[in-house]
Chain A
Amino acid sequence: GQNIDQPTEMTATEGAIVQINCTYQTSGFNGLFWYQQHAGEAPTFLSYNVLDGLEEKGRFSSFLSRSKGYSYLLLKELQMKDSASYLCAVLDSNYQLIWGAGTKLIIKP
């Protein structure tokens, strides 16, 4: 079966750095997405990785290792508005997105 694993919940302090991990086992791989979802709102796109390595986009970076079936999202200089759920999703061999259950990130002042 196909499986995406993420921690259910994480807590971090305003101004700090947090790393949210995602491991996957899917039938094929055509890329990995990270989305942000604030409570009661729609998911919004953060990043896409298809090659190994780190992609940096402002305060957010995303890393991929295809050989390890592993990705992480790194958030720097945390702000209160970063409190949200972060969803990892893998595009499988049929170009269907397989979603993790999401990681709820709580930011404390």
Chain B
Amino acid sequence: DAGITQSPRYKITETGRQVTLMCHQTWSHSYMFWYRQDLGHGLRLIYYSAAADITDKGEVPDGYVVSRSKTENFPLTLESATRSQTSVYFCASSEGRAGGYEQYFGPGTRLTVT
């Protein structure tokens, strides 16, 4: 299917476990982003990538790791999950950052850390 997809859609994990959230886009967009969304907060940028093998930290990168070996995939790994990482995670992609390039969002992954 065309577009941007995320998996899993729902995940429950225990404190201390490693978990990886997957993101895949079919548009060949250069930029990809990971956000978390929590009640009372705006979307907060975790990491972003300008191209394959180029990643950079966002506002809240601690506890997360990303990689981008292929343009279409941008997985996010929580190395040792904590309860404070319970959130809804959105992946997004765009053709660029400057100007009016809109970001296209995946459906989100609802992660609960117990």
List residues of A whose CB falls within 8 A of some B CB: 4, 30-31, 33, 41-45, 48, 50, 87, 89, 91, 95-102
Closest 3 CB pairs of A and B: A99-B42, A42-B105, A45-B102
Least CB distance, A41 to chain B, in whole angstroms? 7
Give residues of chain B (71-107) contacting chain A, Cβ–Cβ below 8 Å: 90, 97-100, 102-107
A41 surroundings in chain B (CB, below 8 A): 107-108
Shortest Cβ gap from B5 to chain A (Å): 11
Report B48 CB to chain A, min CB distance, Å: 8
B43 contacts the other chain (CB 8 A): yes
B45 close to chain A: CB less than 8 A = yes
Tell whether, in the assembled complex, residue A42 and residue B106 are in contact, meaning their CB atoms are under 8 Å apart. Answer: yes
Q: Is B100 within 8 A of A50, CB to CB?
A: yes
Contact of B58 among A87, A95, A96 (CB under 8 A): A96
Q: Are A99 and B43 in touch, CB under 8 angstroms?
A: yes
Q: Which residues of B contact A48 (CB under 8 A)?
A: 100, 102
| CB–CB B102/A4 < 8 A | no
- A95 contacts which of B90, B98, B104 (Cβ < 8 Å)? B98
Complexed CA–CA distance, A48 and B40 (Å): 24
Contact B42 A100 (CB under 8 A): yes
Q: Which residues of A contact B59 (CB under 8 A)?
A: 96
The interface residues of chain A lying within 8 Å CB-to-CB of B43 are: 43, 87, 89, 97, 99
Q: Which residues of chain A have C-beta atoms less than 8 A from B100's C-beta?
A: 31, 48, 50
- Shortest B37–chain A CB gap in Å is 9
User: Do A45 and B42 have beta carbons less than 8 Å apart?
Assistant: no
- Given A30-B98, A42-B90, verify A97-B103 contact (CB < 8 Å): yes
Contact of B42 among A42, A44, A102 (CB under 8 A): A102
- Contacting residues, chain B, for A43 (C-beta < 8 A): 43, 90, 105
Closest A residue to B108 by beta carbon equals A42
Q: Mark B27-60, 1 if CB is under 8 A from A, else 0.
A: 0000000000000111111000000000000110
**Interchain nearest-CB distance for A39 vs B (Å):** 11
